[in-house]
Amino acid sequence: MFRFLRWAAVGHTVSLAALACSLSACSAGTRPPAGAPTGTDRPRQTVRMDPARAAALYVSNRPEDHPQANFARQRAAKARTDSIYEARSRGVMSFSKISYRSGVDGMEIPAYLFAPLQPTGARAHAALVWVHGGVHGNWTESYLPFVKEAVQRGYVIVAPEYRGSTGYGAAHYNAIDYGGMEVDDVLSAYDHLKTLPYVDPERVGVMGWSHGGFIAAHLLFRGATPFKAGAAIVPVTNLLFRLSYKGPAYQRSFATQEGLRGLPFERREEYVRRSPYYHVDSLRTPILVHVATNDTDVNFEEARPLIDALIARKPQLAETRIYVNPAPGPASGGHTFSRRVDPNTLERDDSPEQIDSWNRTWAFFEKWLRPGTR
């Protein structure tokens, strides 16, 4: 296929019959069905390949072709983020960088840990595993005002930098496994929380935005889960739909991953397994989901089916809300409607929708995790 594209790119023409054959089993020696028109009994047509379009549509499935990044720049950005958290946490909350082993393969997972300055006693605190978003994303300083609020409410927070996260070099970056082992990396954060004497392992929730909401939903849709509740805000839901909708530029960050090595039409069952939308019936734990109609990342066309499925099939467990054209955040329209943060002060830049979403989120977790009780 790749050699054919290179040949076509120099401007040669190829018959439609030959083109169809080159993309089908004809090259393997199979014959057209009996009675089908052949090149000798139908008008011959030709098509000129557009090399620019062919290059734009080509998506490799080889891990060595996975898009790379400037790892030195990523490490520098991560060091800056860590220094901001260290400085802004003084006198406000306990902050540390930790690491733990993933339960799936023993990979070392860096993480952030936030807690009240003076824990109130043994097993006294509820906790949240807070999952960052992004395909190759990381925990940034923009989470700061919301984390401070969580700690003030009595929560302990662990924020895993699961495999594929940026700021930890090429090996961690290239271990990305979207919807696969990264979910187990995040689950293993719960095992670390259990080792903290001031955390009640019976009052731990999970939450995240976007890809973080995707992982949170996966953990709740597994059926058996240690989490007592979870929030998935503007979550990715359906990779079959998403990759088709976003196109080749987006697909290249998926098809070249070691655990996928292909697109949904090649690995349909695997992409179904990695899409929360198809596992709603396994939900046994309360979940809160908020989406926005003007989201230009997780478009409403992707988000709405999950909301409908939860309302129809899990109404006793799901709290859902659709925000109609909320005041947008700094990127992707409504995708960041509840993550509005002043970049200079790193304080909340509230809109009515952001206030409402957070009020509902905190009320949801207070109901199920009871952060102020033992």
Note every long-range contact of 21-25, with CB atoms under 8 Å and residues 24 or more positions apart, other chains counting: none
What share of residues in the chain are helix, strand, coil (percent, to 5)?
40, 20, 40
d(CA 155, CA 11): 63
> Can you give the pLDDT at residue 33?
53
Supply the DSSP symbol for 344: T
Average pLDDT over residues 148-173: 98
Tokens 């939450």 sit on residue: 207
Strands 156-160 vs 108-115: parallel, antiparallel or unpaired: antiparallel
Is pLDDT at 300 greater than 70 in this prediction?
yes
Specify the pTM: 0.88
DSSP per-residue codes, 56-103: HH-----GGGS----HHHHHHHHHHHHHHHHHHHTTT-EEEEEEEE-T
d(CA 85, CA 110): 15
Is pLDDT at 360 greater than 90 in this prediction?
yes
Which token pair is 292? 């926005």
Which token pair is 247? 């196109």
> Can you give the pLDDT at residue 23?
42
Mean pLDDT rounded to a whole number for the chain: 90
The pLDDT tens digits for 181-200 are: 999 999 999 999 999 999 99
> Can you give the pLDDT at residue 34?
56
Burial label for 4, CB within 10 Å (0-12, 13-18, 19+), is: middle
d(CA 68, CA 53): 23
Which carries the bigger pLDDT value, residue 361 or residue 38? Answer: 361
d(CA 49, CA 9): 7
Q: Which residues contact 245 (CB under 8 A, 6 or more apart)?
A: 299, 301, 302
The pLDDT tens digits for 1-50 are: 433 343 333 343 443 334 334 444 443 444 455 555 555 556 677 888 89
Which token pair is 300? 């409403």
d(CA 183, CA 197): 25
Tell me the domains of the chain and their CATH numbers. Answer: 2-57 (no CATH), 66-369 (3.40.50.1820)
